[in-house]
Amino acid sequence: MSQETQAVQTRRSRAWFNNPDNADMTALYVERYLNFGLSLEEIQGGRPIIGIAQSGSDLVPCNRHHLVLAERVKAGIIEAGGIPLEFPTHPLQETGKRPTAGLDRNLAYLGLVEVLYGYPLDGVVLTIGCDKTTPAALMAAATVNIPAIALSVGPMLNGWYKGERTGSGTIVWRARQMLAAGEIDYAGFVKLVASSAPSTGYCNTMGTATTMNSLAEALGMSLPGSAAIPAPYRDRQEVAWETGRRIVEMVEADRKPSDVLTRSAFLNAIRVNSAIGGSTNAPIHLNAIARHVGVELGLSDWEEHGADVPLLVNLQPAGEYLGEDYYRAGGVPAVMGELHRAGLLHGDALTVNGRTVAENIGDAQIEDEKVIRPFDRPLKEAAGLTVLSGNLFDGAVMKLSVISDEFRERYLSDPASPGAFEAKVVVFDGPEDYHHRIDDPELGIDDRTILVIRGAGPVGYPGGAEVVNMRPPAALIRSGVHALPCIGDGRQSGTSGSPSILNASPEAAVGGGLALLRTGDRVRVDLNSRRVDMLVEADEIERRSGELRIIEGELYPTSQTPWQEIQRSIVGQFDTGAVLEPAVKYQRIAQTRGLPRDSH
């Protein structure tokens, strides 16, 4: 038997569509896929059946352009000899889903695993974009392990207001300070924020979307140079077509996610994350993908491999520019070229196009040094994420690239202990409590106060809310204090420029140290020893711990939907990816669990 025929015979779609040993079931499977116009010859002729996991819809505006791009993907698949079958994934709109899209990431993951495993698919194009759509898709592809390639929808065009770039999300954090200070009114606030969203696509800042799409490329899961192309650009349609062609070749070569998602690939992605000034959500999502593909990766890897990497990309919130500028300056290949020449990448890692990272980079160069800096002239040295621990939590992250001069001067420049500070805390139980009380003068919040928020983690919220970047009281903003130190067990939007200490694990809702903290306690943050501790006597901590009751409805609000309850009962903490723990043992199921049984 020729190699090619063998590949066709072992293709999983054959078990549905062309299995003479199981004629009655084959007929049942085949007839319904003919009814929208496919021919028997197409379905039974041994062509790869390629799923297009469609994440865009009217509910997911960030990814909606994938409805257009899918037509080009299909054309590419057909051109290469495959059959495209498009299907919807569970909607994951970061801004639209309440209580959080974080709650739904694992639901979308579960749904996609069932579809990829339970339908006659030989390979899949994962349409990615808005924050959680990328990890959900990559986590599912990792679990099932059929050939998979990711296609980014691309960022929106740059936002502009009165001659200045306005970036998604980032403008909200600035505008809310202007609103609090009385510089704009409510209508002006909405107008200013809307200016940042001028076209189809995802957030044009280096938020979680640009981060995760860049990292999907850095991991080798999407075509080189594809992540940064703005959604409306012509080039985006072209790469959609190439992605369609490529997935068919991947099925023929049996190139699976486990070939690409190796530890080397993850370490490359960690370094790229530092160089781009990536989101603090990245460790949660990458650690989750790694766990589902069975690669060892922990928070300590982010510190060890990422903390010292310089910031090269000058995008908001860490810098000034936006998505279109990032693309014109060379995008991910230009960044990876700098890192590779500095010896910081595993150049031998394999990517979806069958070539290595080093081969793909070639001699990729920076096209605009205002937007992407050369490695030897970075925007900031040692700009990755730092990982902190202490008696308040076992693990939390802080983004070093967004520490402003004002913040450094006020908190990190004490000659007696540079890089460390100590202050009293004001503790909020969830975002509602924070919104209600932040401007209450009774709290006595001054420029030496640490704001703490709890009840915002994967169990407490649930899904984890992006609420840790709390603004100071309006009165303090008016006096020129634009940021206070913040600590929380929630997340923070990747578009935020706040140097918060966040993703604290374990969270208060499962009895983590933050649950024991009280307003008025003192906390010490030491970035040199990477510790955060409450300065409370050990016997007092023990006494509070004895009094703590971890009860739904008391420590955190009761579940409102079945999924909230189910996820709460099986979800892990942020430091280990906040995955559904029972799902982790299901790895590479297309190879390890055989085929699903017949439907009838």
Residue 493 interacting partner from Mg ion, ligand FES, none (CB closer than 5 to 8 Å by kind): Mg ion
Q: State yes or no: residue 94 binds Mg ion (CB under 5 A).
A: yes
Listed ranges 65-73, 199-207, 328-336, 449-457: which one lies at the site for ligand FES (CB under 6 A): 199-207
CB of 79 to ligand FES, least distance (A): 30
Q: State yes or no: residue 322 binds ligand FES (CB under 6 A).
A: no
Letters for 379-418 (x = contact with ligand FES by CB under 6 A, - = none) are ----------------------------------------
Residue 466 interacting partner from Mg ion, ligand FES, none (CB closer than 5 to 8 Å by kind): Mg ion
User: Residues 54, 86: contact at Cβ < 8 Å?
Assistant: yes
Distance CA 97, CA 62 (A): 13
Q: State yes or no: residue 202 binds ligand FES (CB under 6 A).
A: yes
- Contacting Mg ion within 1-20 (CB under 5 A): none
Residue nearer to ligand FES on the CB measure, 101 or 146:
101
Residue nearer to ligand FES on the CB measure, 55 or 177:
55
* Contacting residues for 392 by C-beta, under 8 A, at least 6 apart: 487, 504, 512, 513, 514, 517, 523, 532, 533, 534
Listed ranges 159-167, 202-210, 274-282, 297-305: which one lies at the site for ligand FES (CB under 6 A): 202-210
Give the number of other CB atoms < 10 A from CB of residue 342.
Answer: 15
CB of 131 to Mg ion, least distance (A): 5
Among 89, 469, 493, 505, the residue binding Mg ion under the rule CB under 5 A is 493
CB of 131 to ligand FES, least distance (A): 5
Burial annotation 168-202 (CB, 10 A radius, 16+ → b, else e): bbbbbbbbbbbbbeeebeeeebeebbebbbebbbb
Q: State yes or no: residue 95 binds ligand FES (CB under 6 A).
A: yes
Among 26, 100, 134, 168, the residue binding ligand FES under the rule CB under 6 A is 168
* DSSP secondary structure letter of residue 400: G
Q: State yes or no: residue 199 binds ligand FES (CB under 6 A).
A: no
Among 303, 325, 466, 489, the residue binding Mg ion under the rule CB under 5 A is 466
What separation in angstroms does the CA of 375 have from each of 292, 302, 356?
Answer: 33, 19, 22
Distance CA 118, CA 448 (A): 56
Tokens for 37, please give them. 């116009």
Listed ranges 176-184, 200-208, 543-551, 580-588: which one lies at the site for ligand FES (CB under 6 A): 200-208
Distance CA 384, CA 387 (A): 10
In the chain, % helix, strand, coil (3-state, to 5) comes to 40, 15, 45
What is the bridge-based pairing of β-strands 159-161 and 148-152? unpaired
Residue nearer to ligand FES on the CB measure, 134 or 505:
134
CB of 62 to ligand FES, least distance (A): 3
Residue nearer to Mg ion on the CB measure, 200 or 205:
205
Q: What count of Cα atoms within 13 Å lies in the side-chain half-sphere of residue 315?
A: 39
Q: State yes or no: residue 279 binds Mg ion (CB under 5 A).
A: no
Distance CA 513, CA 593 (A): 40
Q: State yes or no: residue 496 binds ligand FES (CB under 6 A).
A: no
CB of 212 to Mg ion, least distance (A): 11
Distance CA 568, CA 507 (A): 12
Phi, psi of 97 (to 5 degrees): -85, 125
Listed ranges 201-209, 356-364, 416-424, 458-466: which one lies at the site for ligand FES (CB under 6 A): 201-209
* Cα torsion 169, 170, 174, 175: sign: negative
User: Residues 160, 166: contact at Cβ < 8 Å?
Assistant: yes
Among 104, 131, 301, 303, the residue binding ligand FES under the rule CB under 6 A is 131
Letters for 204-223 (x = contact with ligand FES by CB under 6 A, - = none) are ---x-x--------------
Which residue, 191, 192, 97, 190, is CA-closest to 136?
97
Give the interface with Mg ion as residue ranges (CB under 5 A): 94, 466, 493
Give the interface with ligand FES as residue ranges (CB under 6 A): 62, 94-95, 130-131, 168, 202-203, 207, 209
